[in-house]
């Protein structure tokens, strides 16, 4: 299949680290169905020595003894100068996984049996929590995000309109010619699996139906600002704004949707009362809403929303969230689509996609924050295709 021929940049980075024999665990974090396992298989093929794969993706989460068993199996194959690569997929689903891995890895560092370990996880919150609390100083992490336009173009020959509508899931690319099958794949294998299985396994959710309804509301309003009070009015049994904010954060840890805070200098980290909803992959929107490709292209206002959401998704998937924060900005009738802040710079982004929007909001933002750097995407400014083919880390260096 074509997607197996494409090598994502993280494969080369992991192979290089293994060749240098660095004394670290290697951890891949990313959403479902974006090629984490494929990347691990490509690493194993380049590794040369023996590799053992184990997946914790079972209906009932295994306990720490499961990791012990996989570890001992790998250790039994080491020796006489032979090294073994142990790959554990969906490791965050194992109870007490980080403490167990810490114990076993520290033993490996003392004894030097020749074991290399690659961990894969699809929950950013649990992976980061386990790594920061138990594995500090013991790992190198690699992000495996949703596929951008450049990757889908290279691997499958897609044009920009294809990617904006069908999104960046490589496993679904072969279903592009059958939109019904493609939509069922996204809905059943991705959305339903994450909502009904992953999130509920990994966190206590008192109101699962509310979580599902919040996702549906978010999908119906891509790249739109929606106050929590308005959400309360549209969702049944919604409880309060604190519950909604918590559930929105759970959806973000699963790489589905983020609620952007409004930018306020000096108070940027404070939760805004009106988040801007951005889906991490446009396929989540188009598969859920149900309009086919031709209908969507004819609906110019809706297509404009998809383009704007794709810009936000490109930022989320391409920027390091420890160094770059993403916001929106609105004051009365003035609005800026995205605000990107790094430790040293501030950018204001306006997306032009044929919706006839006015740059008045950008001018108002620059008047309030004169140190900001403007960036207009589309509409005769920075070409949309050029933006999506560029790495955000390079644009906002």
333 and 217 fall within a common domain? yes
356 and 326 fall within a common domain? yes
pLDDT of residue 86: 96
List, for residues 314-367, the tens digit of each pLDDT value: 999 999 888 999 999 999 889 999 999 999 999 999 998 765 556 789 999 999
Residue with tokens 């890895």: 105
282 and 301 fall within a common domain? yes
Full domain range(s) for residue 244? 149-395
What per-residue string of b and e applies to 198-236 under the rule 16 or more CB within 10 Å gives b? bbeebbebebeebbbbbbbbbbebbbebbebeebeeebe
List, for residues 250-264, the tens digit of each pLDDT value: 999 889 999 999 998
3-class secondary-structure state, position 250? helix
List, for residues 167-205, the tens digit of each pLDDT value: 999 999 999 999 999 999 999 999 998 888 878 876 778
User: Which structure tokens are listed for 220?
Assistant: 């119906």
209 and 328 fall within a common domain? yes
Chosen domain end from 87, 120, 143:
143
Number of structural domains, the chain? Answer: 2
CATH code where residue 19 lies: 3.40.50.300
279 and 139 fall within a common domain? no
* CA–CA separation, 48 and 397 (whole Å): 36
List Cα–Cα distances, 161 to 31, 145, 310, in angstroms.
23, 20, 11
pLDDT of residue 265: 79
Question: 207 φ, ψ to 5°?
Answer: -130, 80
Share above pLDDT 90 across residues of the chain, in percent, rounded to a whole number: 65
256 and 119 fall within a common domain? no
* CA–CA separation, 347 and 369 (whole Å): 10
Chosen domain end from 90, 123, 143:
143
Give 75-80's long-range contacts (Cβ < 8 A, gap of 24+).
75/113, 75/115, 77/50, 77/52, 78/113, 78/114, 78/115, 79/113, 79/114
17 and 135 fall within a common domain? yes
pLDDT band at residue 267 using 50, 70 and 90 as cut-offs: low
Asked if residue 153 has pLDDT above 80, the reply is yes
In this prediction the pTM is 0.89
68 and 172 fall within a common domain? no
- CB-neighbour burial class of residue 167 (10 A; exposed 0-12, middle 13-18, buried 19+): buried
283 and 190 fall within a common domain? yes
User: Which structure tokens are listed for 5?
Assistant: 């021929």
* Pairing relationship of beta strands 115-121 and 25-29 according to DSSP bridges: parallel
């Amino acid at each position: 299949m074509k997607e197996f021929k494409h090598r994502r940049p993280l494969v080369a980075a992991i192979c290089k680290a293994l060749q240098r024999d660095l004394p670290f665990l290697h951890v891949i974090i990313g959403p479902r169905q974006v090629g984490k396992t494929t990347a691990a298989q490509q690493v194993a093929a380049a590794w040369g020595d023996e590799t053992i794969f184990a997946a914790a993706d079972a209906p009932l989460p295994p306990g720490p003894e499961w990791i012990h068993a996989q570890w001992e199996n790998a250790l039994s194959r080491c020796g006489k100068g032979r090294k073994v690569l142990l790959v554990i997929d969906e490791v965050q689903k194992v109870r007490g996984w980080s403490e167990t891995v810490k114990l076993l890895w520290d033993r490996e560092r003392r004894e030097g049996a020749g074991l290399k370990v690659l961990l894969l996880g699809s929950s950013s919150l649990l992976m980061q929590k386990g790594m920061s609390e138990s594995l500090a100083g013991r790992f190198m992490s690699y992000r495996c995000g949703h596929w951008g336009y450049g990757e889908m173009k290279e691997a499958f020959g897609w044009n920009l309109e294809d990617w904006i509508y069908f999104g960046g899931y490589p496993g679904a690319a072969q279903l592009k010619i059958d939109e019904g099958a493609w939509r069922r794949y996204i809905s059943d294998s991705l959305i339903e699996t994450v909502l009904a299985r992953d999130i509920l396994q990994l966190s206590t959710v008192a109101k699962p139906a509310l979580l599902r309804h919040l996702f549906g509301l978010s999908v119906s309003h891509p790249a739109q600002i929606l106050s929590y009070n308005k959400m309360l009015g549209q969702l049944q049994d919604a409880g309060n704004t604190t519950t909604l904010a918590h559930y929105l954060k759970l959806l973000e840890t699963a790489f589905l949707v983020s609620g952007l805070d409004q930018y306020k200098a000096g108070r940027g980290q404070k939760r805004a009362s009106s988040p801007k909803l951005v889906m991490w992959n446009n396929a989540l929107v188009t598969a859920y809403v149900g309009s086919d490709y031709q209908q969507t292209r004819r609906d110019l206002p809706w297509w404009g929303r998809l383009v704007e959401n794709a810009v936000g998704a490109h930022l989320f998937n391409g920027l390091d969230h420890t160094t770059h924060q993403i916001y929106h900005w609105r004051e009365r009738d003035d609005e800026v689509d995205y605000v990107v802040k790094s430790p040293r710079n501030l950018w204001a982004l306006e997306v032009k996609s044929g919706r006839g929007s006015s740059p008045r909001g950008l001018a108002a933002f620059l008047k309030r924050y004169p140190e900001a750097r403007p960036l207009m995407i589309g509409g005769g400014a920075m070409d949309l295709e050029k933006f999506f083919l560029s790495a955000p880390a390079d644009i906002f260096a």
